Amino acid sequence: MKANCSSPGETGETGSPHPPGPQSPLHQRHLDLGSGLGRSSSWTCCSSTSQIMEKSPLQTIGEEQTQNPYTELLVLKAHHDIVRFLVQLDDYRFASAGDDGIVVVWNAQTGEKLLELNGHTQKITAIITFPSLESREEKNQLILTASADRTVIVWDSDTGRQVQRISCFQSTVKCLTVLQRLDVWLSGGNDLCVWNRKLDLLCKTSHLSDTGISALVEIPKNCVVAAVGKELIIFRLVAPTEGSLEWDILEIKHLLDHQDNILSLINVNDLSFVTGSHIGELIIWDALDWTMQAYERNFWDPSPQLDTQQEIKLCQKSNDISIHHFTCDEENVFAAVGRGLYVYNLHMKRVIACQKTAHDSSVLHIAKLPNRQLISCSEDGSVRIWELREKQQLAAEPVPTGFFNMWGFGRVNKQASQPVKKQQENATSCSLELIGDLIGHSSSVEMFLYFEDHGLVTCSADHLIILWKNGERESGLRSLRLFQKLEENGDLYLAV
């Protein structure tokens, strides 16, 4: 679907007056300009650094990675096609699914293959876990998988048993979401269906679009947001009351602010959610009244005041600015924009750090670790570990103030507001430092999963799953198990 999107970005790009040819003279000129202006301002300093970065666009790290804890890996092989999805089941188990249609349940600690779930005939398009309810007698956690064969299968994650199979879909289900509060789950394809735990179809919408729902999240007030092409549709779920015993789902609102297909949609917190589009628009929405809180749009806006040369060069492909994935914590939204990573601060409502070329090609998945670390994986087959650091005064990382504009500030004020913003930046901005990379996959790393205790699991288009572990910790654990076994065998106290 991503590949099919033709976006306005592309047209704008092709219409760009700057062909790739005369880049180096431009660079040269800019450098001259920078040196002519002198090094008094931090702006030029930043610019020149970014120039240097463009010459060697990808930040690399040497072989010495002292902060990289992952010194052990275990290759898990069970799939025979692209592995696209990883989902955590509990503290030590996860499931993987991909284009071969099989779902495999793994032990994250040992790398042992626990179950293989066969049922789908075509590639799996969505997977989600349906946590068990404490009150219910059936404690088993369920796994829901949707496939291109237009079925959804419900699995028992403990036994691998196929609980039920639903094949009444008109179209491929592209997203699944669970509303745990209501104990229902929703499937999104060309229409949106609501199911209960017993897999009864409670209600469904009419046909929405041929492209179908690409993303679906729950927002307060029994509402869900669905991304359908360029638009966001808010649905409200009507649970049965005294008045009506029927479930119902109502279309509440259409949000048409994105100018291109929406690729990513997540909840930031209870009050807001964020969407990202193919052409790099990042919009933060109020989850209650569905209004726009903030709008960031990088590279697209041809504002003349900015270093347009660079931007143009960077946005030769719209793919370079499409927002593939978000992750967030309390303060920041982290966006995987094209090949780069951007950190958007919710309080300051601006980008506080970025790494424009974090990878050789598109970043597909990012995740924030508790220890201020950010992990990204990319089509280039690598996984990189970043650390968000408070930026020191002379840090090399540029903050592209001009690249993102606050919608609220308005373009008219841009010129004026620029210096002010710079001040803020210097005070508070951060940088993303590369502290390690994990090289193992030979093809695009589709997704990864972080286990607090067991390390990192990555899955890739090379059909493999790799378990990355902290070697030191594993060594200690093995020693522990060794002595446990010795004790079990009674060998430990033989000498005594």
Partner 1 sequence: MISAPDVVAFTKEEEYEEEPYNEPALPEEYSVPLFPFVNQGANPWSKLSGAKFSRDFILISEFSEQVGPQPLLTIPNDTKVFGTFDLNYFSLRIMSVDYQASFVGHPPGSAYPKLNFVEDSKVVLGDSKEGAFAYVHHLTLYDLEARGFVRPFCMAYISADQHKIMQQFQELSAEFSRASECLKTGNRKAFAGELEKKLKDLDYTRTVLHTETEIQKKANDKGFYSSQAIEKANELASVEKSIIEHQDLLKQIRSYPHRKLKGCDLCPGEMEHIQDQASQASTTSNPDESADTDLYTCRPAYTPKLIKAKSTKCFDKKLKTLEELCDTEYFTQTLTQLSHIEHMFRGDLCYLLTSQIDRALLKQQHITNFLFEDFVEVDDRMVEKQESIPSKPSQDRPPSRSLEECPIPKVLISVGSYKSSVESVLIKMEQELGDEEYKEVEVTELSSFDPQENLDYLDMDMKGSISSGESIEVLGTEKSTSVLSKSDSQASLTVPLSPQVVRSKAVSHRTISEDSIEVLSTCPSEALIPDDFKASYPSAINEEESYPDGNEGAIHFQASISPPELGETEEGSMENTPSQIDSCCIGKESDGQLVLPSSPAHTHSDEDGVVSSPPQRHRQKDQGFRVDFSMENASPSSRDDSCEGFPAYELDPSHLLANRDISKTSLDNYSDTTSYVSSVASTSSDRIPSAYPAGLSSDRHKKRAGQNALKFIRQYPFAHPAIYSLLSGRTLVVLGEDEAIVRKLVTALAIFVPSYGCYAKPVKHWASSPLHIMDFQKWKLIGLQRVASPAGAGTLHALSRYSRYTSILDLDNKTLRCPLYRGTLVPRLADHRTQIKRGSTYYLHVQSMLTQLCSKAFVYTFCHHLHLPTHDKETEELLASRQASFLKLTLGLVNEDVRVVQYLAELLKLHYMQESPGTSHPMLGFDYVPSFLYKI
- The residue whose two tokens read 């009244």 is 289
- The residues that touch partner 1, with contacts defined as CB under 8 A, are 62-66, 68, 71-75, 77, 111, 436, 439-442, 464, 466-467, 469, 471-472, 474-476, 478-483, 485-486, 492
Q: How far is the CB of 492 from partner 1 (least distance, A)?
A: 8
Of 331 and 472, CB closest to partner 1: 472
* Shortest spacing between CB 273 and partner 1, in angstroms: 37
β-pair type (192-196, 332-337):
unpaired
Q: Given the complex with partner 1, which of 95 and 464 has the nearer CB atom?
A: 464
Contacts of 114-117 with C-beta under 8 Å, sequence gap 24+, read: 115/157, 115/159, 115/160, 116/78, 116/160, 117/143, 117/145, 117/153, 117/155, 117/160, 117/162
Whether residue 248 contacts residue 262, with contact meaning beta carbons closer than 8 Å, is answered with no
Copy the structure tokens of residue 62: 């040497």
**Measured from the CB atom, is 411 or 481 closer to partner 1?**
481
Q: Which is nearer to partner 1, 388 or 467 (CB)?
A: 467
**In the complex, what is the shortest distance from the CB of residue 97 to partner 1, in angstroms, rounded to a whole number?**
21
Q: Which is nearer to partner 1, 7 or 470 (CB)?
A: 470
Least CB distance to partner 1 at residue 79 (A): 13
Backbone angles phi, psi at 280, to 5 degrees: 80, 20
CB of 109 to partner 1, least distance (A): 11
Q: Is 4 left (phi over 0), alpha (psi -120 to 50) or beta?
A: alpha
By DSSP bridging, strand 223-228 and strand 350-355 are: unpaired
What is d(CA 259, CA 270) in angstroms, rounded to the nearest whole number? 26
Between CA 244 and CA 413 the distance in angstroms is 53
Work out how close the CB of 77 gets to partner 1 at its nearest, in angstroms, rounded to a whole number. 7
Q: Which of residues 387 and 474 has its CB atom nearest to partner 1 in the complex? A: 474
8 A C-beta contact, residue 326 and residue 344:
no
